[in-house]
Amino acid sequence: MTLAHQLTRDAATRVAKAWWLLLLNGLALIVAGVLVFSIDWTVNSLATFIGALFIFEGASRALASGIDPRVRRANVISGLISIATGIAIIAWPEPGIVAVAIFLGAWLVVSGTIAISGAFAVRPVLPYWWMLLLIGLLEIPLGVLALANPGATLAAIITVAGIWAVAIGVSRVVLAFEAKRLPAELDKAWSAPTATTAAA
């Protein structure tokens, strides 16, 4: 089944219009990842920063367009979960390493699972669907690592958070430009059968 059969022109245009939001989200995550690695954090300051990062990530997800209502609902649900997790991390009284690790690990496992299922959902229409799959395959082990040893050192939590932010940010930047080209790819898919028919 061709791309044209899988996605309508309106849906492609709707996704493409939000490409800049995806781009800004990716760039912000890359900057956040660099900051995570470069600042000498305390547990409280790191908890606040990670919480704010989760809130930002959740808002971006909730506002993101989807190729269909099912994907849009998934974006909103995962975004709200991310926002709630961020608020919980910030509001948690006297956040310790264990609390930060548990919140971070649980969210990464949930986010990774959503990314993997989303990758297979958009496989017929996005050439770079495998990037979503890789994101999920990265997030789940990072989440399990954080949950397996919640009493880990601050340096370990910084490493997990930094790798996550940079990796997700880079993938979002690539996917943003892919989303921007989606209507053109759809037009190309529609014109190919027409050209073949005309040649025959």
Q: Residue 173's pLDDT is what?
A: 92
Task: Please say whether the dihedral angle defined by the alpha carbons of residues 174, 175, 180 and 183, taken in this order, is positive or negative.
Answer: positive
Q: Is 192 part of any domain?
A: no
Q: Residue 68's pLDDT is what?
A: 65
Q: Residue 5's pLDDT is what?
A: 47
Domain total in the chain: 1
Q: What is the pLDDT of residues 19-62, one digit of tens each?
A: 888 899 899 999 999 999 999 888 888 888 988 988 998 898 88
Interhelix angle 9-17/182-199, nearest 10 degrees: 150
Q: Is 176 part of any domain?
A: yes
Q: Is 96 part of any domain?
A: yes
Q: Which residues of the chain have pLDDT under 50?
A: 1-5, 195, 197
Structural domain including 119 reads 8-186
Residue that has been written with the tokens 């990774």 in this structure: 112
Distances (CA, A) of 27 to 33, 37, 51, 81, 165: 10, 16, 18, 22, 10
Q: Is 139 part of any domain?
A: yes
Q: Is 147 part of any domain?
A: yes
Q: Is 118 part of any domain?
A: yes
Name residues whose C-beta falls within 8 Å of residue 92's C-beta, 6 or more positions apart in sequence.
Answer: 47, 99, 103
Q: Is 130 part of any domain?
A: yes
CB burial of residue 73 (10 Å; 0-12, 13-18, 19+): exposed
DSSP secondary structure code for residue 64 in this structure: -
List the end-to-end C-alpha distance of the chain, in Å, as a whole number: 21
Predicted model pTM: 0.76
Q: Is 66 part of any domain?
A: yes
